[in-house]
Structure 1
């Protein structure tokens, strides 16, 4: 008789944007479905960076993921101490969506290949739910209002009746996309990330808060008009023009003003959701969630309400494979699998479409 496993392992593959992430997660085998304390065994990531002033094209990003998938997967297995994936892993999880079509497809095909090679079940994972479950596991947040902020998504979310319900979201571009595109306007480096470099410039600014539109509409936000106004101010800066108060316009003050404005909007709609559901906890997830100023502003709001903030560092905020492995294993433990004929991906996969069967 084969010995009983003391833990369940899953491999997760993420590639919805320019981050290729593969990792291995472990849950205790004797835990109840959905109650497992996750243990990160490996978290390997490789990022496709385009030159300053440019964005990453889907075809180039997909080519990067195809080129690096094998070496990243081997590194993830090696770091996790997995020598026989077919025997040691429970399933292979992959990002089904949302995200960029070509990169999603490249990683989905590779994950399907591994599942077939090792004879393992395949589990398609919602990218947003992966962020939420990883954040909950790492921080220990119980039942928070979630602010999910990334390059492709901006949502305020709360859990109810086995669904993550969206209370508010961006009506046009995501906040991360707004920051990334402004980084291109200023021709800021994309290494390690344009949003990170904007944050560093903003820390050196703060002398002048430039006037930018503030676009909150109920529980939703709009960022395209703010980006247009910031671009116009950048053009005035290049022309040598000053503000209406006679101050010079600097890249540092532009970055500071953009951050302060968009983050204030996010804090406002998050606080409104907290009041609606009666929660005192805020969990920030997604790549923009690494921003220290956003965390600081949200923490001040939560403290005024007698609440607390939960956030993680770049290992777990930025797209990674372990969040896909974790959410995939949670779903697998409740009996969910993705049949091979349904192992597709989609650019549009709403957070509230997922049946969160592992939560009460």
Structure 2
């Protein structure tokens, strides 16, 4: 095997081109005593082995290519290792995961992030994690944004019979830290979201963009990452408000109401009544409505109408169904009442909304 070593001073993406086809590899943890931060990328079917790591203290990126003598077509690796779309090295498809299940013995324990990136961890089950406060117990739905130089430690809780499950993503520091500085999103602290599925769709979208990139992928990845950070900022703000604005009994109801609100949005097309929803938490309609408004600064009816309007807008744009059919699918029994509600909330009729250019739709 012939070894080629290339020193790269700029970030790169795994899917670079050497044989006119992007190579996407799978990550395997390295067992290198010389460089414990090294990660190997096996890129079948070309029988290459890529080793990418950061050499402290300057975090210079190195790429080592091990070339098989079976392939005579491969030329020397170019020093500029970027794919044709200029994708940044992080995040990429192998720097994120969804619903990752770990063994009970699995643990991460390292002095800093091996890629010099920001690690966002979102737990689907209980786990132990190092924060600024020390070793804390993370609950399902809890999230933490690791600074690149903060020690990483997470493992299963002692009483667990199986390992923990989590979602995660590595992102470049310059794509996250400016947002943190501008908004005050806490680093190295647990953020209680109370929703184990909070980030799954955004991480899945980022992974898809990295696996099948095109000229629009960098912007889509940036937007999805910003949505992740915005969700965490909102969850953190809501948790702070929960701790200061609500009584002990109200705090106990809050996670239940969050689940009910999610249910309401997901089932907005169904014939839901306030009596039916309030019965799920054994509260009177009046008490339920009062708590709902206190928690979310909105009424159940207003949220239900908003969810139906969003669904109707989607159908008006992407479906050729009649207004009567759309009204029925979105939960309205009468198309005239649907049109009146739509106009009240959007300032335009459903038909006019359907005909309007995309840049003029409210």
TM-score (norm 2): 0.21
- Structure scoring higher RCO (CA < 8 A, sep ≥ 6) equals 1
TM-score (norm 1): 0.21
User: Between Structure 1 and Structure 2, which shows a larger proportion of helix residues?
Assistant: 1
